[in-house]
Amino acid sequence: MPKEPLLTAWEAFTKDKMEDLKWKQFNVGTGGTICLVDWMGDDFSIVEAARVSYGEGTRHTSGDRQLIRYLMRHWHSTPFEMAELKFRVRVPMDTWRQWIRHRTASVNEYSTRYSVAIDEMAATLPGEWRLQAESNRQGSDGFFDVVDGGALLSAQEAKFHKDSRALYEERLEMGVAREQARKDLPLSNYTEAYWKVNLHNLFHFLRLRMDSHAQKEIRDFAEIAGREIVAKLFPFAWEAFVDYRLEAIQLTRLEIEVVQRMMTRLLIHRTSTYTENFKEAQDPAWKGLKKCRERDECIEKLEILRILPKGSLEVLARD
């Protein structure tokens, strides 16, 4: 298994880029950071591992980019596990609580049992306070006006951060064990960690955390990990990820049948009143329901596909 010249060229190329990215610190929010510490593999490693499945005979039948796209499109996961990335992050404990839920990664975190806690808490600027969303119980919608609320909230926060640090330090000074003194640190306190994950699991993390429903605080980290780091180290895999995951949509059995009925009516009967068409073609179980989240999701997808015109959700809700 001698190394091919092509491989060497590729490696040299990516190794150079790597030197630029390694330990390059990206800032996130007021005090957060993320940087790439190390990595293993590149687009070619994915291809190389996939080709072991094919044996030697098919070595040159498809281009590397096409093969990567095929693997991603058809949900092959193991070749993407062959690349590995290691990050160092500085992140509020609140965000870390979400992050750590991804179990398929290796983690070493700063220990407030062993050391005094990092002396910084995530500060929220007056213009960054978000309003509770009405429509989505677990989301936010819009921002507080700086003057009307934002400034007050930030001032209260700053005072609270100061007080809680003072309490923590007073405890330490009195001799309270670090492992116990930390119990009242606010979730906004920063922590630091090494986080190592393979590319397949990282893509899974990114799909969930770059999503518009993910909380902004973690989305900001995911955006940088994805667009500033992965996209540069694995350009082909990233492109495939965007095309086949991030910007793909899924149609459920019910939605497929709605489209089938709409298209039949549209093409055969030349129906043209879109909303009427949808109302007739919708899933039987949805008919008569005043509120139906699944129907709303369907309408949104049909709008994207231009099977329904933009604004249909409002029109149909009004009816």
Using CB under 8 A as the binding rule, the residues of this chain from 192 to 251 that contact a second copy are 192-194, 196, 198, 208, 215, 242-244, 246-251
Which range binds a second copy by CB under 8 A, 97-105, 219-227, 230-238, 310-318? Answer: 97-105
Taking CB under 8 A as the criterion, the residue among 177, 279, 310, 317 binding a second copy is: 177
**Interaction between residue 178 and a second copy (CB under 8 A):** yes
- CB-based burial label for 257 (10 Å; 0-12, 13-18, 19+): middle
CA quadruple 29, 229, 205, 39: dihedral positive or negative?
A: negative
DSSP designation for 246: I
Q: Residue 63: which region, alpha, beta or left (left: phi > 0; alpha: psi -120 to 50)?
A: beta
d(CA 73, CA 94): 34
Which segment (36-44, 220-228, 229-237, 310-318) binds a second copy by CB under 8 A?
36-44
Rounded to the nearest whole angstrom, what is the least distance from the CB of residue 318 to a second copy in the complex? 21
Residues 206 and 229 sit within 8 Å (Cβ to Cβ):
no
The answer to whether 272 contacts a second copy (rule: CB under 8 A) is yes
CB of 165 to a second copy, least distance (A): 12
**CB neighbours (10 Å) of residue 204?**
17
Would you please indicate which residues are annotated as catalytic (active-site) residues? 209
Residue 224 Cβ, how far from a second copy at the closest point, in Å?
Answer: 16
Q: Return the residues of window 105-164 that contact a second copy according to CB under 8 A.
A: 106-111, 113-116, 118, 121-122, 124, 129-133, 137-141, 144, 149, 153, 156-157, 160-161, 163-164
Among 31, 38, 120, 232, binds a second copy (CB under 8 A): 38
Minimum CB distance to a second copy smaller for 60 or for 101: 101
CB of 81 to a second copy, least distance (A): 4
Task: Decide: is 41 part of the binding site for a second copy (CB under 8 A).
Answer: yes
- Interacting span for a second copy (CB under 8 A) from 184-192, 219-227, 229-237, 310-318: 184-192
Tokens encoding 215: 């909380």
* 69 binds a second copy, rule: CB under 8 A: yes
CB of 174 to a second copy, least distance (A): 6
204: its two tokens: 């899974």
Q: Does 275 bind a second copy (CB under 8 A)?
A: no
Contact 89, 195 (CB under 8 A): yes
Q: Provide φ and ψ at 98, rounded to 5°.
A: -75, -40
Task: Extract the tokens encoding 124.
Answer: 């929220």
25/27 with CB nearer a second copy: 25
Residues facing residue 35 across a β-bridge:
88
Cα-flanking dihedrals φ and ψ of residue 268, to 5°? -90, -50
Q: Give the span between the Cα atoms of 46 and 68, in whole angstroms.
A: 7
x/- binding map, residues 279-318, to a second copy, per CB under 8 A?
--------------xx--x------xxxx-----------
Q: In whole angstroms, what is the distance from residue 191 CA to residue 223 CA? A: 20
> Which CB atom, from 272 or from 318, has the smaller least distance to a second copy?
272
Angle subtended at Cα 26 by Cα 21 and Cα 31, rounded to the nearest 5 degrees:
155
